[in-house]
Amino acid sequence: MSTDIRRLYGVGAVRAAAYARLGVYTVEELLEHYPRGYEERGNIRLLCESDGVGKSAHVLTVATEAKSVRIRGRMSMVKFRAYDESGICDITFFNQEYLKAVFVPGSEFRFYGRVEKKGNRYFMTAPAYEPIREGEVLPPLIPVYPLTEGITQKQLAKDMRAAMVLAASFEDGSNDPLPEELRHKYGLCLQSYALRNIHMPDSFSALAAAKKRLIFEEFFTYALGLSMASAKKTHAPAVPCLADGRAELEAMLPYALTGAQRRVIGEIVADLARDTAMNRLLVGDVGCGKTVCAAAAMLTAVRSGRQAALMAPTEILARQHYAELCGLFEPLGVRCALLIGATSAAEKKKIYRGLCAVEESERIAVVVGTQALLSEGVSFAAPGLVVTDEQHRFGVNQRAILAEKNALSHLLVMSATPIPRSLALSLYGDLDLSVIDEMPPGRQRVDTYVVDERYRERLDGFILKQVAEGGQVYVVCPAVEENSEEESFELSMEEIDGEGQVRRGTPLKSAVSYAEELKERFPALRIGVLHGRMKSKEKDAVMAEFSAGRMDVLVSTTVIEVGVNVPNACLMIVENADRFGLSQLHQLRGRVGRGRRKSFCVLVSESATGESDAQERLSVMKSCYDGYAIAERDLEMRGPGDFLRGSTDVSVRQSGGVRFRLAALCDDTGLMKTAFAEARAMIGTDPDLSGHPLLAERVRGMFALEEGTIN
């Protein structure tokens, strides 16, 4: 399974390079390149049942000899007629002369494509086709893979079939990483069956079984890695930070700390004083004041003669943290620096020097940055504390690099996603947990409404009213750009639930095209757009315009979700709200109501009426303002997937070390809990997995660890 992809027949250097772009180097990794969705070709319709818009599958008999027609120079067209009991269809292909020999009169094919109707005639152009042969069943679902330049669906499917032939040699389960007793206990299918049916499902129920098995395995592998890491970490040595920065910091604050902040800072400062490394997760709802807790920890490290680093997932956030921390620290004579991708090369060099300066007087004590902090040039003279913000965006691997650069230092991880306690304990089992469960006084409540399209006009009026009064508006859309036509007709992996039932969603509003639409509707308003596919410089520029009040409406994907602070923003509109997790919606709602303006959140959803799950889910937002309660409800109703995906925005999804593949679509909390419990039990009896070499290999693969790290 770990065979190089180039060993597959027909895969040469060029195709291998394309696969590398998808992160696929081995046969095993190819098999884990799961489809993003499927074409429902098993759903055969009559010609008269096609809708003229979407693609559909039709079994047709070829009626006439295929004729080729020359058009414009070298172009040629192959044309023939085929029929079913409801009508006759003209089918055309371009530049494929050889098809004349394929479509023999009397033969039957399954065609898949868009059917157009003119008069009482049907037409299809270049449909997908498969011959129907006696005694052979055509697959009902055809996989659609995420692609990159240089690979087509056809090539990928062909390579996948070759890879599956290899995998199929283990049909007896002898090479299955999941032990047999686990498979039996939880009714999980064999790995070989799962791989075959995730790529080429025999049926919806086989697909559901495959998904279940693979999701269990992902959780199980992750949990094994985590349990092993936490067993090791408890003993990692660290430099004790014995000073106490609390009083000094509090004197700088224009407000009094809340009781919860005090308690949490106490827990952190006590950890820092130990000679074993702190590994603490600090969770607290948006706006509860985590930054100041981190600041207290950082100052404690600095006053103990050590350095502190804070890493944020985006440049926008890094800048914001830097501004806030500088304001607190510089008056105290603590040298701070900002290190992000946009920092000039010369400035970077200066910072690198300042960070590794032996002389304390020349040393940078506090550095705030993005992943740029992980670059090679960065080394610390006296590392003491690493803080990462928005933990779920960073992979365990990135934390590991950071830890390596900061040997002997303590780790504080902050997360504003109020994840349910049980989930936090599972997912971050290698961390201790501190919770801020109290908001600073005087926070206003953001009035929340759930509406559907019928309210569009009123909503437009509301936008104008808020802007006229000097407020600013966020509009959040789930997609960056409109789905391509191809994507919008296929069935996405997400839409197939645990029982193999199909749940279709409404089309997604895209930030880019919706911004254009709004510009037309409101020519007088200053409207900007922000999404993850923009360069970070462009993003920062847009955010700066909005922050400065030079923009009225910001149409965005969830990139604004994390930590952004614009106190003048008073209206948050979320389009396709049913597509978001409640916790995510709660996060988004937290972007408004940060200043003195009365603030509102409007959740727009087609499913807002009727008795859908979505309606019930969204209505939680109207009555509930406690991020933790919302998170618990979300976990109950939608399962853990939303928490694992973190965001629907592409740029964010790609970052991070461990990437859940199918598990990020999991809607079954029970399955996850079981996998975690079983993993803990296994590590209890086989702490280094020496009795389960196949699993040890899976763990190494998932955490991208070198051979020898485990065992």
Nearest distance in Å: CB 278, ligand ADP: 19
Question: What is the identity of the amino acid at 583?
Answer: S
Judged by CB under 5 A, the number of residues near Mg ion is 1
258 contact choice in Mg ion, ligand ADP, none (CB below 5 to 8 Å, kind-dependent): ligand ADP
Which of 239/336 has CB closer to Mg ion?
Answer: 336
Which residues within the stretch 181-240 sit at the binding site for Mg ion (CB under 5 A)?
none
Which of 431/671 has CB closer to ligand ADP?
Answer: 431
**590 interacts with Mg ion by CB under 5 A:** no
Which of 418/563 has CB closer to Mg ion?
Answer: 563
Give residue number: closest CB to ligand ADP: 289
Angle value at C-alpha 661, between 162 and 424, nearest 5 degrees: 155
289 contact choice in ligand ADP, Mg ion, none (CB below 5 to 8 Å, kind-dependent): ligand ADP
The answer to whether residues 711 and 690 touch, using CB atoms and an 8 Å cutoff, is yes
Which of 123/255 has CB closer to ligand ADP?
Answer: 255
Provide the 3-class DSSP secondary structure of residue 246. helix
Q: Is 256 exposed, middle or buried (0-12, 13-18, 19+ CB in 10 A)?
A: exposed
CB within 8 Å of 303: residues ≥ 6 apart? 241, 243, 244, 245, 248
Among left, alpha and beta (phi > 0; psi -120 to 50; other), residue 281 is: beta
Nearest distance in Å: CB 655, ligand ADP: 20
160 contact choice in Mg ion, ligand ADP, none (CB below 5 to 8 Å, kind-dependent): none
257 contact choice in Mg ion, ligand ADP, none (CB below 5 to 8 Å, kind-dependent): ligand ADP
How far, in Å, CA of 325 to CA of 282, rounded?
Answer: 18
553 contact choice in ligand ADP, Mg ion, none (CB below 5 to 8 Å, kind-dependent): none
How far, in Å, CA of 414 to CA of 257, rounded?
Answer: 18
431 contact choice in Mg ion, ligand ADP, none (CB below 5 to 8 Å, kind-dependent): none
Nearest distance in Å: CB 389, Mg ion: 6
Which of 296/666 has CB closer to ligand ADP?
Answer: 296
Which of 179/440 has CB closer to ligand ADP?
Answer: 440
- CA–chain centroid gap for 123, Å, is 40
Q: What ranges in 369-510 are assigned the alpha helix state H?
A: 396-405, 421-427, 456-468, 485-489
Backbone φ and ψ for 566, nearest 5 degrees, come out as -130, 95
Nearest distance in Å: CB 564, ligand ADP: 10
**Integer CA distances (angstroms), 408 to 7, 51, 240, 462, 467, in order:** 44, 65, 9, 54, 51
Provide the 3-class DSSP secondary structure of residue 281. strand
Which of 562/666 has CB closer to Mg ion?
Answer: 562
Nearest distance in Å: CB 680, ligand ADP: 31
**Integer CA distances (angstroms), 131 to 63, 152, 345, in order:** 15, 21, 60
Choose among 708, 701, 635, 698: nearest CA to 672: 635
Nearest distance in Å: CB 675, Mg ion: 31
Q: Which residues make up the interface to ligand ADP (CB under 6 A)?
A: 255, 257-258, 261, 284, 286-292, 416, 440, 563
Which of 178/592 has CB closer to ligand ADP?
Answer: 592
**528 interacts with Mg ion by CB under 5 A:** no
Nearest distance in Å: CB 284, Mg ion: 9
Which of 54/287 has CB closer to ligand ADP?
Answer: 287
292 contact choice in Mg ion, ligand ADP, none (CB below 5 to 8 Å, kind-dependent): ligand ADP
Stretch of 9-17, 369-377, 562-570, 693-701 lying at the interface with Mg ion (CB under 5 A): 562-570
- CA–chain centroid gap for 527, Å, is 27
Beta pairing class for 383-389 and 307-311: parallel
How far, in Å, CA of 115 to CA of 130, rounded?
Answer: 17
The answer to whether residues 87 and 47 touch, using CB atoms and an 8 Å cutoff, is yes
Nearest distance in Å: CB 290, ligand ADP: 3
127 contact choice in Mg ion, ligand ADP, none (CB below 5 to 8 Å, kind-dependent): none
Nearest distance in Å: CB 311, ligand ADP: 14
Stretch of 8-16, 293-301, 485-493, 558-566 lying at the interface with Mg ion (CB under 5 A): 558-566
94 contact choice in Mg ion, ligand ADP, none (CB below 5 to 8 Å, kind-dependent): none
The answer to whether residues 599 and 449 touch, using CB atoms and an 8 Å cutoff, is no
294 contact choice in Mg ion, ligand ADP, none (CB below 5 to 8 Å, kind-dependent): none
37 contact choice in ligand ADP, Mg ion, none (CB below 5 to 8 Å, kind-dependent): none
Which of 215/416 has CB closer to Mg ion?
Answer: 416
CA-CA-CA-CA torsion sign (616, 617, 618, 619): positive
Please count the helices (runs of H) and the strands (runs of E) in the chain: 25, 24
CB atoms within 10 A of CB 447: 12
Choose among 267, 282, 544, 240: nearest CA to 410: 240
Which of 34/394 has CB closer to ligand ADP?
Answer: 394
Question: What is the identity of the amino acid at 181?
Answer: E
Nearest distance in Å: CB 303, Mg ion: 23
Which residues within the stretch 635-674 sit at the binding site for Mg ion (CB under 5 A)?
none
The two structure tokens encoding residue 644: 């694992």
Stretch of 464-472, 486-494, 545-553, 559-567 lying at the interface with Mg ion (CB under 5 A): 559-567
How far, in Å, CA of 497 to CA of 637, rounded?
Answer: 13
Provide the 3-class DSSP secondary structure of residue 558. helix
Which of 206/257 has CB closer to ligand ADP?
Answer: 257
Question: What is the identity of the amino acid at 81?
Answer: R
Which of 384/563 has CB closer to Mg ion?
Answer: 563
Stretch of 229-237, 505-513, 560-568, 572-580 lying at the interface with Mg ion (CB under 5 A): 560-568
The answer to whether residues 667 and 497 touch, using CB atoms and an 8 Å cutoff, is yes
Nearest distance in Å: CB 664, Mg ion: 24
Nearest distance in Å: CB 615, ligand ADP: 29
How far, in Å, CA of 409 to CA of 18, rounded?
Answer: 40
Nearest distance in Å: CB 122, Mg ion: 58
Nearest distance in Å: CB 572, Mg ion: 17
The two structure tokens encoding residue 304: 């103990």
255 contact choice in Mg ion, ligand ADP, none (CB below 5 to 8 Å, kind-dependent): ligand ADP
The answer to whether residues 292 and 257 touch, using CB atoms and an 8 Å cutoff, is yes
Which of 451/570 has CB closer to ligand ADP?
Answer: 570
156 contact choice in ligand ADP, Mg ion, none (CB below 5 to 8 Å, kind-dependent): none
Beta pairing class for 141-144 and 37-40: antiparallel
**563 interacts with Mg ion by CB under 5 A:** yes
- CA–chain centroid gap for 186, Å, is 27
Stretch of 99-107, 215-223, 555-563, 635-643 lying at the interface with Mg ion (CB under 5 A): 555-563
DSSP string, 295-340: HHHHHHHHHTT-EEEEE-SSHHHHHHHHHHHHHHHGGGT--EEEE-
Among left, alpha and beta (phi > 0; psi -120 to 50; other), residue 5 is: alpha
- Residues of this chain that interact with Mg ion (CB under 5 A) are 563
